[in-house]
Amino acid sequence: MDEQQSSGSDTAQRHGRRGGGRNPHQRKPFAGGARRPSVSQHRRGPGGPAPSLAVAAPEPPEVAPVKDLLVNILTRMGIGPVDIIYHVRAEGEYLEVRGKDLSGLIGRHGNTLEALNLIFNNMVNVGQRNSRRYYTIDAEGYRARRADALKSLALQTLERAVRERKPQVLEPMLPSERKIIHIALADSPFVGTESSGAEPERRVVVTPK
């Protein structure tokens, strides 16, 4: 199980090799002789900034009963009436709750949404082994905005780690938030990430390679 399933099990990303004895002004080859990309190229990506908006996608038929389950749970929590909107983002499938006064659903720093997300996805995947699906429950776009902020933080931290040449320890985060940082930097040739500490003080550490 991974951060996505709130197990607290984090895996360190792959580590680069350190070369020695080379000319300090010579660029180190990268990936089969190609030049190592710059930090700014990693920030932009191959085609410019990645879009952060939700991607319009047909709703799969299996989403309908999942939405019904979420409405049932919210009704029992005393939240409703609501609309559930399905959409897809880079980090996965979202079920966005829309309605009046959803502050109680979000909770302090998103903790209520995080707890609901864990319980809901465990219910959705009960008895499933090979076809597990994970949905991010959002409320009025709160978690989508937070995900965008965390991606920006990940890139800023990457640049700081490379510039200062020392590990960067981020603030304590929820498991789903740590997962966003890990994914954002997973393919970076400059840094690796791991989680350290115990809940609720568990943090992401970004270490230069």
Domain 63-140 has CATH 3.40.50.300: no
Q: Name the CATH superfamily, with its identifier, for domain 143-209.
A: R3H-like domain (3.30.1370.50)
**CA distance linking residue 40 with residue 117, whole number of Å:** 35
- pLDDT tens, the chain, 209 aa long: 445 444 444 434 433 434 444 444 444 443 444 455 555 555 544 333 344 455 656 889 999 999 999 999 999 999 989 999 999 988 889 999 999 889 899 998 899 999 999 999 999 999 887 888 999 999 989 999 999 999 999 999 999 999 999 999 999 999 999 999 999 999 999 999 999 999 989 999 999 99
Q: What is the pLDDT of residue 129?
A: 79
Q: What is the pLDDT of residue 179?
A: 93
Q: What is the pLDDT of residue 181?
A: 96
Provide the whole-model pTM: 0.68
Task: Give domain limits for the chain.
Answer: 63-140, 143-209
Evaluate whether 121 touches 134 at the Cβ level (below 8 Å): yes
C-alpha atoms less than 13 angstroms from C-alpha of 35 in its C-beta half-sphere: 7
Q: What is the pLDDT of residue 25?
A: 42
